Amino acid sequence: MNHIPEIDWTRVDALIELAINEDLDGAGDVTTLAVVPADKRARAVLRCKQQDMVVAGQEVAERVFARLDPLATYQVLKPDGCCCAKGEIIAEVTGSAQSLLTAERTALNFLQRLCGIATVSARYAAALKDSATVVLDTRKTTPGFRNLEKYAVAVGGATNHRIGLFDRAMIKDNHRELAAMEGPGGIARSVARVRHAYPDLEIEVEADRLEEVREAADAGADYILLDNMTDEMMAEAVKINAGRARLEASGGITLERLPAIGKIGVDFVSAGALTHSVKAADISMDIVPMETEE
């Protein structure tokens, strides 16, 4: 089963606070304050408005509503990870009418973003369902939202890559360029330095050319990232590597390419598209009659 990372609620609550303050700016929701009586209670439904959406972020949306009305009740009808069809209700929320309207856009912004990521991640994972190749995300995330976005990736069925700069050493192109300025053997020298400085960390080397694949494998890298290689180059990289390191295809990865890449023999495919350019899911919030009024 795919590992779902825990949500860091300290950071998420700070994001919620920032988002609400951004919307209210000290003056409050002037339209709602003027139009809706303070003692009015209301019920709303959150509805999927697109086909085949994967839900993610229900608890985040719940916390947004609770921030403005601690007595609000949020009923999840489609838990995170569920696939829902157009028109299905994913949650109901009841509470202060003013609070529901004030929280609406902030709650939907979080929910739509996370559902969009989960939905795309599910499509990428499904494209490799007949392969042993695993889909990974990247660090191309919205600043401050990485924990939430990687959570949504995992909920959708893809797998998290390293979380940040601290949990795996990755010797990328600019590291290689700087190492090369010291003379030949830059990749091997860089791998040795990381092993010495951080012996418990795994090491990944980004390779643009097949000669770099060979040098990284010879140096004992744990992972080799095959950057922007054609399918033919990746197939040759598999032969050169000969099972020594785990191979990750990255760069220029599209949904359409995945089935072919899955047959090459690489271990992973990483795609920034899971997070950096995802279209928000289409979700609406509609006020409906209170249950006692139906």
Does the annotation count 105 as an active-site position? yes
Nearest Cα to Cα of residue 90 among 78, 73, 79 = 78
pLDDT per position as a tens digit, 84-113: 999 999 999 999 999 999 999 999 999 999
Residue of 11, 41, 105, 189 with catalytic role: 105
Is the pLDDT confidence value at 251 over 60?
yes
**Which of left, alpha, beta for 252 (phi over 0: left; psi -120 to 50: alpha)?**
left
Residue of 11, 41, 140, 244 with catalytic role: 140
Residue of 40, 172, 239, 263 with catalytic role: 172
What pLDDT, on a 0 to 100 scale, did the predictor assign at position 243? 97
What pLDDT, on a 0 to 100 scale, did the predictor assign at position 26? 87
Does the annotation count 177 as an active-site position? no
Q: Using only C-alpha atoms, what is the Rg of the chain?
A: 23
Residue of 208, 227, 267, 282 with catalytic role: 227
Is the pLDDT confidence value at 294 over 60?
no
Does the annotation count 208 as an active-site position? no
Global pTM exceeds 0.85: yes
Does the annotation count 52 as an active-site position? no
What pLDDT, on a 0 to 100 scale, did the predictor assign at position 75? 98
Is the pLDDT confidence value at 18 over 50?
yes
Does the annotation count 227 as an active-site position? yes
pLDDT per position as a tens digit, 266-285: 999 999 999 999 999 999 99
Which amino acid makes up residue 83?
C
Rounded CA separation 198/168 (Å) = 9
pLDDT per position as a tens digit, 142-175: 999 999 999 999 999 999 999 999 999 999 999 9
Rounded CA separation 202/269 (Å) = 18
Is the pLDDT confidence value at 242 over 50?
yes
What pLDDT, on a 0 to 100 scale, did the predictor assign at position 287? 97
Is the pLDDT confidence value at 27 over 80?
yes
Rounded CA separation 157/260 (Å) = 20
Residue of 104, 206, 212, 248 with catalytic role: 206
Rounded CA separation 116/83 (Å) = 12
Cβ burial of 208 (10 Å; 0-12, 13-18, 19+) is middle
